[in-house]
Amino acid sequence: MGKRTFTPATDIPSLTGKVILVTGSNAGIGKATIRALAQHDPARIYLCARRRSAAETAAAELKNGTQYDRIDILTFDLASLDSVKKCAAEFNDRASRLDLLFLNAGVASTPPALTQDGYELQFGVNYLGHMLQTWRDNANVDVPIIAAASDAAFAPFLPKKRGLVLDEMRRPDAYGPMSLYAHSKLANVLFIRKLAQLYPGISAFAAHPGVVATEIWDKSAGGLMSALFKPIVWATAVDSDGGAKSQLWCATTQIGSGVEVAESGQYYQPVGKNKALKGLSADQKVVDELWEWTNNELASYNSTGWPV
């Protein structure tokens, strides 16, 4: 199916009564996502960010710009699984429901580093922290989950042809920054696929925002791949509002209509264009390998995991 026309201001239906959580929403696509959602009167939006000061500034700007004041802040550092657990616990204390979950936060092509728990930074932030955040005790409630994806998941510069290099995710520099970014984005796509397979009651989507000019690329580590890629970003990119459209479309097009326009477990390019999964992203063995590895890793953090 080809690209769809989608205007958030007019095409997003009423969100009255909906509770929404957006990670990485103090800037860029996440902030633009909240700005678009706020125009449709949700019950509350939770703005999750690593730095409290940045979150407070963003929340004030959004409230002033949209005249919507039901934006709450949650401190949330994906590079710390302890922070992720505390954020989830705080949300559960403050809210009795969740209707839309945007796994938007991420980093791209960063210098070699490890998370606080000793995982390669891009994999830990883009995938593992979000995986822990979404674990739940009741998988019977339909909460659409939208993960920020990227065409890097299908890139030829993935670390190895076999795709996953999970045994090397305790090393910060096992591969180049762009290869590790692609590895983390492949994990996002595989995670969404597995959620859809195990839990038909959950709508799970991988949403590629397109090429977007945000500050995420200002923090890249450089290197050949980054040097080649960054000029393309700035020459072809859309702004953050344009970049938010893909995940907004996945999250809201079926609200109130009863028609499932987007198919759970699938990958969508902007806007509303389904990209057929093939190769590693369609390899069930790779999907299952990541799920099993992740469950085993996070079990050590006293996480009960997803119910069977």
User: Any idea which residues carry the catalytic annotation?
Assistant: 181
| Residue 26 near residue 54 (C-beta atoms within 8 A) | yes
Q: Where are the extended beta strands (E) located within the chain?
A: 19-23, 44-49, 71-75, 100-103, 145-148, 204-207, 267-269, 273-275
Tally Cβ neighbours within 10 Å of residue 213.
Answer: 17
Tally Cβ neighbours within 10 Å of residue 211.
Answer: 19
Pairing type for strands 273-275 and 267-269 reads antiparallel
Could you tell me where the DSSP H helices lie in 118-239? 121-123, 129-134, 177-198, 223-236
Tabulate helix, strand, coil % of the chain (nearest 5): 45, 10, 45
- The dihedral through the CA atoms of 186, 190, 192, 193 has a sign that is positive
DSSP 3-state of 143: coil
| Residue 221 near residue 111 (C-beta atoms within 8 A) | yes
